[in-house]
Structure 1
Amino acid sequence: MDFTVVWAAIIALGLLLYVVLDGFDLGIGIVFPLFPDERERDLMMNTVAPVWDGNETWLVLGGAALFGAFPIVYATVLSALYLPLVAMLACLILRGVSFEIRGKASRTKHLWDLAFIGGSTGAAFFQGVSLGAFVQGIPLANGEFAGDAFGWLTPFALLTGLGVVATYALLGCCWLVAKTEGDIQRRLHRLVWPLTLVLVAFIAAVSIWTPLQEPGVAARWFSAQWFYRMLPAPFLVALCAYFMRRAARERHHTRPFLLAMGFVVLGYAGLLATLWPYAIPSSVTLWEAAAPERTLTFTLTGAVVILPIILAYTMLGYWVFRGKVRHGEHHYH
């Protein structure tokens, strides 16, 4: 068994689950400005009150697993992306504090609304910026970061930052469609298709820009081995968009969220195909970055125990709080 690939798969799965799960509750903060009514905002926040903090478990798991299994990547990425990652964590803290305090505030509730909007949008944006900077590559010298503190600040990284904001906004909107009813659900249905078009535009822009700026990526994408494997991707994105349009028109409750997850999975699959087999794009492969095999084996033993527990309590939380959320129901801590 190749423990390096196993650990890479675990980290990839953890990050995918984080993007989907924390993505939709960050997305609620992003679409918050479109729903100024206080009672509707209370309802929107109540849809994620029981689960939002548990969703962040996957981010912690991904960071810890990266430190244990690929310490070179952990050290290099933190050095190269220190500023956007710290900004992301600050936004997540602001979002969490505002979430808790807003439910108990009265006179300052509008200020905590702004904090929730800013924290959610900022966290999504800086996650996307970090992703874009990582895909562009990190300069190394003698195995250490050799760039400057603002090397991550590029037009491509800003584009991916806005793309992640659009992704989370669609996830949040579709989650709310599944969890609400009545007038607010009708208005959310009307929002689904415009957000889908925005997301598809970002997917197209990133997909065109990536091979243009990275010759190595272009060579891999258009090689005989990879071209026909990746050819179905744009058609699958178009198919998701078509069914999203139908779901919004026919006012389905859960189908939009499933299709939004489809967009995320397709984009994530494209990202993994672009990066493979590198742990740091075009510089360090997974096997070069991996910890010693004894370390991988030992930590994998713990992961085999911990992962099922995390999955179990995550699924239990969603099962217990399944169904619609209505006005007057409170799930604040």
Structure 2
Amino acid sequence: MFLSDSLLPLLAAGALAFSVLTYVILDGTDLGVGILFMANPGDDERHVMAISILPIWDGNETWLVLGGGGLIAMFPAVYSIFFTATYIPLFVMLLALIFRGVALEYRDGASSARRRRLYDLAFIAGSTLATFAQGVLAGALLQGIPHDGSQYSGNGWDWLSGFSLFCGLALVAGYALLGACWLVWRTEGELQAKARRQARWLGLMTLLLAGAAIYWSGLVQPVLWERWGDLPLLTAWLGLLALLALGFWKWLDSRHDFLPLFMVLGAVVVAFAGLLASLHPTIIPPSLTLAEGASPASSLGFMLIGFAVLIPFTLAYSTYGFWVFRGKVHPRGEG
């Protein structure tokens, strides 16, 4: 192999991290639109919101499949430990994603207003539950999972804690913020104005909840405090997050409607990068490292070749979909 065996686990982890981050950026946005259905009860409003994500939501979830499949092949020990420890929130997430997909696809073809309302309830519940479950999964990982190096050694309920539930709430607020910024970009008129107001409040809520979650994570996982203290670029990291937050507030009312969304997406990328740097070289805190959880070098090399093909292809597919369905979405009978 032209790459050293010690470098392969790091590259594999980078490929998985990229897939997860892209999923959060893309599907987090349309999950946020689903969450905001509860704050926009008008039928015309919901029609525009649904149409804005209908052509691209299923392509966004490709990244979740790519990340999950890559985890099985490249880090089987991590897959065994993490998925065994989190069966309940994981299946809640998957079932919720199924319900929201069915509801979104069928709501506009509903035979009656009553049936459409049922689809809308399913869409709201599915979007909110899927988001909350993803936050719980992230919190369960951050707080640490008991294991013996290759198998889960807990009681099946270790994922359930005040911290993991709080992470679920924080992610609901964060995804709703992404959804509001998406609507600022893709809609106009009263719905856009309402989305701006919602984004303002959700921005403040997300900032407070995310800050509390970061502080709490240091309490449940003390090694994070140590790594934050030694992180060379900590000041630059926090400064960049502050600049992105200021940019969001400054450009929320800008005529360049894409800027608020791009500021929030930039903050997601920076926060995600800082989290990975804090956890490195562990992949399951506090003790399982990338090298310990990885497949043999031959398997990693084979999978990385596949990722080198799949990631650019999936990026091109997603980009093309966004390009084809670009522009503002109008109410029925307009545009």
- Checking the alignment, whether the CA contact within 8 Å between 2:93 and 2:134 is kept in structure 1 is yes
Structure 2 CA distance for partners of 1:3 and 1:120, relative to 1, 3 Å: same
Q: Which moved more, 1:198-207 or 1:298-307?
A: 298-307
Which of residues 286, 294, 309 is equivalent to 2:290? 286
Structure 1 runs (4+) greater than 6 angstroms displaced = none
Identity within the alignment, %: 44
Amino acid paired to 1:154? S
**CA-to-partner distance for each residue in 1:72-97, whole Å, 9 max, x for gaps?**
00111110011100000011011011
Q: Which moved more, 1:104-113 or 1:40-49?
A: 104-113
Stretches of structure 1 lacking an aligned partner (at least 5 in a row): none
Structure 2 CA distance for partners of 1:133 and 1:329, relative to 1, 3 Å: farther
Shift of the alpha carbon at 1:53? 0.3
CA distance in structure 1 between the aligned counterparts of 2:278 and 2:126, rounded to whole angstroms: 30
Aligned to 2:101: 96
CA distance in structure 2 between the aligned counterparts of 1:329 and 1:266, rounded to whole angstroms: 41
CA distance in structure 2 between the aligned counterparts of 1:235 and 1:210, rounded to whole angstroms: 20
1:45 corresponds to 2:50: yes
- Checking the alignment, whether the CA contact within 8 Å between 2:221 and 2:286 is kept in structure 1 is no
CA distance in structure 2 between the aligned counterparts of 1:256 and 1:151, rounded to whole angstroms: 37
Q: How does 1:125-204 map to 2 (within 5 A)?
A: 125-141=132-148, 143-204=150-211
CA distance in structure 1 between the aligned counterparts of 2:135 and 2:101, rounded to whole angstroms: 19
1:31 corresponds to 2:36: yes
Q: TM-score of the superposition, structure 1-length normalised?
A: 0.95
- Checking the alignment, whether the CA contact within 8 Å between 1:193 and 1:244 is kept in structure 2 is no
Q: How does 1:75-86 map to 2 (within 5 A)?
A: 75-86=80-91
Amino acid paired to 1:272? L
1:17 corresponds to 2:18: no
Shift of the alpha carbon at 1:142? 5.3
Name the SS for the 2:329 alignment partner.
coil
CA distance in structure 2 between the aligned counterparts of 1:222 and 1:126, rounded to whole angstroms: 30
Aligned to 1:328: 332
Q: Which moved more, 1:230-239 or 1:94-103?
A: 230-239
Q: How does 1:298-309 map to 2 (within 5 A)?
A: 298-309=302-313
Q: TM-score of the superposition, structure 2-length normalised?
A: 0.94
- Checking the alignment, whether the CA contact within 8 Å between 1:190 and 1:248 is kept in structure 2 is no
CA distance in structure 2 between the aligned counterparts of 1:141 and 1:3, rounded to whole angstroms: 23
Name the SS for the 2:17 alignment partner.
helix
CA distance in structure 1 between the aligned counterparts of 2:249 and 2:304, rounded to whole angstroms: 43
Stretches of structure 2 lacking an aligned partner (at least 5 in a row): none
Shift of the alpha carbon at 1:123? 0.3
Q: How does 1:87-126 map to 2 (within 5 A)?
A: 87-107=92-112, 108-126=115-133
